[in-house]
Each structure stands twice: as structure tokens, then as C-alpha cells.
Amino acid sequence: MHKQKKENNKETIIRVLQMIKPYWWQVILCLVLASITVAATLYVPIVTGDGIDYMIGEGKVDFTKLSQIVILLGIVTAVSAFAQWLMSMVTNHITYQVVRDIRIQAFNHMEKLPIKYIDSHQPGETLSRITTDVDQFSDGLLMGFTQVFSGVMTILGTLGFMFYINIGIACLVVLLTPISFFVANFIARRTYSMFKLQSETRAEMTSLVEEMVGNQKVVKAFLYEEEAMQRFRGINERLRTCGIRALFFSSITNPATRFVNGLVYAGVGILGAFTAISGGITVGQLSAFLNYANQYTKPFNEISGVITELQNAIACARRIFEFIDEPAIPQDSDDAVVLKKADGSVTFDDVSFSYVPEVKLIEHMNLDVKPGQRVAIVGPTGCGKTTLINLLMRFYDIQEGTLCVSGHSIDRIARDSLRRNIGMVLQDTWLKAGTIFENIAYGCPDATMDQVVEAAKKAHAHSFIRRMPQGYDTVISEDGGNISQGQKQLLCIARVMLLHPPMLILDEATSSIDTMTEIRVQKAFAELMQGRTSFVVAHRLSTIRESDVILVMKDGHIIETGNHASLLEKKGFYCNLYQSQFAES
């Protein structure tokens, strides 16, 4: 298990380095600037030590030399400060470019994921990976760039200077160094799993909050507040527990490494003092050595803290890469058929499909729809009506049999061209934050104002749009929160009417519209469906009387087929369903 985790960490780090690779010249610039910063910083103790040697003893102060040293110190400090500022700018630039690339990659991949993945994962979890985890990764990467470069160079530089001043004392420092590595490694092994669990729990909380915020009306209507609070408390308590554990292990890093630093400093001070007494080094050199010992141990302190952050960053990066590695929708083959304009024929030949293998849904379905036919699909909830639409739109692929559109097997048709030939209005409306014009022209960005107005008139949306403050330029909030459900549905209908597609899918398209408006919209639909193959899913059977073919579905099977009159004459399932809705009449 531990070996597998190390392998996973190694893979994640390699992928992060690959993301950084395009900015290699900026990384080299960082190394150069870090070298300048460290060299200038490490030169200060030597200059200071020389200054001490120039003023040892009463009446033995060389003010001329000291003045030169003060000027030199000012120049060296200014160079160090400027190089450090420039290095911070470059590291920030690298980090935010890498984070931008990862976000773009993650979002683009989300667009390519199959509907199956979206349906089987909480939206909040996906949101957490693309936003929160990327932010956490950004913080860790930024700290890593800023402190690891300069820290490693400081360690190497101080070692070089210490060996130059006195090999014996430098060897003592090297002998005590492994203690710092042992402490850092001990803590790092325990923090990774804690930070990973913290990221997962945070994603769970994001998902719950997103769910509650998006469905507040339902929560309040069904008095679910207390249950929601209980769920929140449970997740919050788990987040608190794993957060405290992660914080505990990460917080002992600093005091533990400081203890080791103290040992190194004390060892250098004692051995250095005896060496100075015996004449092995000067007092100024001892002062420089103590400065170097302090600077040598400080990066271990910082790097130990960075390791903690890097463990968190790696855990977050792994979750992001897991998301990016989710299998995308297979690419259309090079010889895929591009439908310019579908003729409207649809054939289901022995088609079988189920969302879950052990739960059968559609089995051995056969259906032959002629071009221009108006097909209504009715049946009880869960019978497979929407599933039929999902298969026709290729949101899901069939598992057995053949589904043909315009004489071509659907898996041989380019997805974009297939969907461009089908206009779809769903019961669940979706509008984006933007103007009414932009929402109607969503599928046809090049549409003119006249074309949009014409589509809105056909959908009977023009009258209410005209009454809006800025008409078609009125900005509506995300998902149309500032207009009624019926108005949202009219805009979605207008969106499809603008496209004039060869085929139509209407899934409870008028469910949120008042009766008078529905009658007018049905007339508009009748005009729109003229000569077009149309699939109409409806629970209100009054809306499908004029259909050419009515498919009655139950448990994934088509149990009855015919028009309204013939199905009533059969006095079967459809007849019972129809009479149950119009019992009084």
C-alpha cells in the first residue's frame, strides 16, 4: 500500500514537472536569480567577519576599511533584495501560468466527458476539483518555487563557505544534517494521507452546499432544514477532525526542525570557540561561521514547511489529474458520416440498453420512423421515454442492436453533425447569464435581430420580452432566476425555432406554460413540425392526439403502437391511461 502511494506520488510529480516544462527558460531564470540572491546573502557574513577583525582591541579600529565595508554591505544587500523581488515575480508568473493551463485542461476535459460521468458524480465534487483543488495546488507550487530553489542553493552555498573557513567544524555540521532529513521525512509520510482525506472531505462539503443552495425552495417546502443541517454537521465534523490531524503533523515540523537547528548551532559555537582559542580561526571567521550555521539550518526549517504544503499540493494535483484522466467520449472516426441535412428516418433494430448492467431497461426494441412522422412517446414514469431520447441524441451509446438515422448507423455519424440536425426542448430549462437575445441565439450565434424576433414571435415569447426593461437586451441571471418558469420555457422553445432543425425532440416542452399560451405554442409547434420528424414525450395525453404514431412504453418495451383513435379502439394500456386523465369527460 505504501509502495503504491509512493509510485502514485512519483507519477503526480512527474506530471507536474511536465506541466512546468513549457516554461523552462523562466525556471532557468529563477535558478540564476536564486543563485544571485544566495551568493549576495552568503557574502554578507564574510564582509561582516572582516569588519569584526578590523575593530578588535582598544584603539585598533580601521575606520577607512570599515567605511568601505559599510558601502560594500549596502551594495550587496541592494543586489540581493532586487534579485529576490525579481525571482518572486518570475515564480508567480510560472505558477499562475501552470495553474491556468491545468484549469483549461480540466475544463476542456469536462466538456469531453460522457454524460454517464456527469450523471454519476455530484456537481459539487467536480466543481471542487476544478476550483478548490487547483487553488490549493497553486499555493503549494508557489511556495515550492519560492523557497525550495533558494533553500537548496543556500544549503550548498553555506556548506562551501564553511568548508573554506574550517573543514573540521563543517564536518560536524554535515554529520548533524541527517537528523533534519529524518524529521522531515517522518512528518511528510504522515501528512500526505491527511491532506488527501481533507481534500476529499472538502469536496463532499462543497457538493452538499452547492446542492442546498441550488434547491433552497425544495428544502424549505419539505422542511428539510434540520436534516440538511445534520448532514452538514456530520461532514463538517469529519472535515474538522482530518483538518486538525493534518494541521497537527504539519505544525510539529517547525519546532522539530528548530530543535535540530539549535543542536547544529550549539555544536558549531562550542567547537568554533575552542578552535578560535587555539588560533585555528579568527574571531571574525567564527562570527561568519556562526552566521553560516544559522543560514544553513534555516532552509531546512523552511523546506520542512514547504514539504508539508507540497504534500497538500500533490494530494490536490492527484485529484485533478484523476479527473483529467477520466475516459473521454471516444473521438469520431476519420471516416465518420457528416450529416448535412438528415432526411428524418429513424430505425431501432433489436436495440438493448441499460444504465446499470444488473438493472435491465430497454430490451430488443424495434421501431421504424418514416421521414416527417410525428411520434409521441407515452408511458408511466421510468418506462424508458427519456432513455430513448438519450440514445437518439447519443448522450449514451446503445449496447446491442443497431440504431440508424437517415440510413446511417448512429455510431458512424459524427456527433456534432447528428446533434446539429436535432432541435431539443426539455422539461428542465437552461439559460445562461446574459441578454435574452444571446440566450435565444445560443445555438445560432450569427443570427440577426430580425431572425431572433421572428423566432420569439413564433414561440409567443415576443410579447413578454417587449415588456422587459430593455427588451431583447435585458440581462437575465444565470438559469433565468429573474423570470418565471413559463417564460424560461418559452425562451428555450424560441431557441429551437430559430434553428429550424430537420428533426425535433420535445420532452414535456410545454409543462410549465399556462393553458392559453400552451394552445398557441402547440399551434406554433404544429407549424414547426410540419415536414419534420418529431419525437414528443408527454404526460398530458391531450397534447399528442394529432401524432402520426404513438408509442406506448412500459418497463423499457414498446407494448402498443398506433394513432390516437386506433389505440383507444384497442381498449388496452393506452386507453386506460387516457381515460384515467379524462375520467369525468
Domains delineated in the chain: 93-324 (1.20.1560.10), 346-581 (3.40.50.300)
SS3 475: strand
Pairing verdict, β 549-554 and 557-562: antiparallel
67, three cell numbers: 567605511
Q: In whole angstroms, what is the distance from residue 195 CA to residue 446 CA?
A: 48
Q: In whole angstroms, what is the distance from residue 278 CA to residue 271 CA?
A: 11
Beta bridge partners of 142: none
SS in 3 state form for 279-296? CCCCHHHHHHHHHHHHHH
3, three cell numbers: 509502495
Which amino acid, residue 19? M
Taking residue 269's Cβ as centre, other Cβ atoms within 10 Å add up to: 15
Beta bridge partners of 507: 537
Q: HSE, CB side, 13 Å, CA atoms: give it for residue 291.
A: 19
Q: In whole angstroms, what is the distance from residue 85 CA to residue 95 CA?
A: 15
Whole-number Cα distances in Å, 561 to 70, 367, 504, 529, 565: 99, 10, 20, 20, 11
Q: Are 268 and 169 in contact (CB under 8 A)?
A: yes
Q: Are 524 and 456 in contact (CB under 8 A)?
A: no
Q: Are 377 and 567 in contact (CB under 8 A)?
A: no
Q: Is 451 exposed, middle or buried (0-12, 13-18, 19+ CB in 10 A)?
A: middle
Could you tell me the pTM of the whole model? 0.68
Beta bridge partners of 353: 362
Q: Are 118 and 75 in contact (CB under 8 A)?
A: no
Which amino acid, residue 91? T
Reduced to 3 DSSP states, what percent helix, strand and coil does the chain have, rounded to the nearest 5?
65, 10, 20
Q: In whole angstroms, what is the distance from residue 544 CA to residue 549 CA?
A: 9
What contacts 542, CB < 8 A, 6 or more positions away?
581, 582
pLDDT mean values, one per 10 residues, the chain (585 residues): 60 82 85 83 75 65 74 84 87 85 88 84 79 80 72 80 78 76 68 76 82 77 82 88 80 73 76 78 74 74 68 82 87 85 88 83 85 86 82 88 90 88 81 86 88 88 87 79 76 86 81 69 74 80 75 82 85 81 52
Give pLDDT, residue 450. 92
DSSP string, 150-195: HHHHHHHHHHHHHHHH-HHHHHHHHHHHHHHHHHHHHHHHHHHHHH
Which amino acid, residue 34? A
457, three cell numbers: 414571435
Instruction: Identify which of 347, 342, 394 has the alpha carbon closest to the alpha carbon of residue 504.
Output: 342
225, three cell numbers: 432544514
Q: Are 528 and 497 in contact (CB under 8 A)?
A: yes
Helix H segments across 393-536? Answer: 415-420, 436-440, 449-458, 462-466, 485-499, 515-529
Sign, CA dihedral 92-94-100-106, equals negative
